[in-house]
Amino acid sequence: MTAKIVEIIRHVLRDVRSSGLEEPRIEDTAWNDDPQAISAMIYSARDSSGQGVSVRRDLPRAEQLVSVADQVQEWVIEENGPINSNWPQCPWHPNNHPMAARLVGDQGVWACPVLLTPAAIIGGLGVNGADA
């Protein structure tokens, strides 16, 4: 059942791509033994280091998206070090912190963690003026 998480990861990677950052390679391998989880691996194109991404299979799709976005964000920050340590950049506080993946209603969004104001739908950075 890893295909579902691969689809979710690819959705989040739209934001990585729109930011001009290098995307990880996705490996459709279930690594988490928890029967309630779906999982896959993402690997750096630079040095092949990897990180597991997993989410509970029984969560609604929007909650899965927020969880995966949070994990991909962690990978982007680790992968790019101080260059993009605040990815995606908060439009209200660009020098202070990155946006955070949040659930607003039934939609996953990137939001300012201080103001809690949504800035873009996850997967929609750089689309229709939504930019970080």
> CB within 8 A of 25, min separation 6: which ones?
42, 43, 44, 45
Q: In the beta sheet, which residues pair with residue 51?
A: 42
The ranges assigned to domains in the chain are: 2-121
> CB within 8 A of 98, min separation 6: which ones?
73, 77, 85, 86, 87, 88, 89, 90
Phi, psi of 20 (to 5 degrees): 80, 15
Q: List the chain pLDDT tens, one digit each, 132 residues.
A: 457 999 999 999 999 999 999 999 999 888 999 999 999 999 998 888 899 999 999 999 999 999 999 999 999 999 987 777 889 999 999 999 999 999 999 999 999 999 999 999 999 998 754 444
Indicate the pTM of the whole model.
0.91
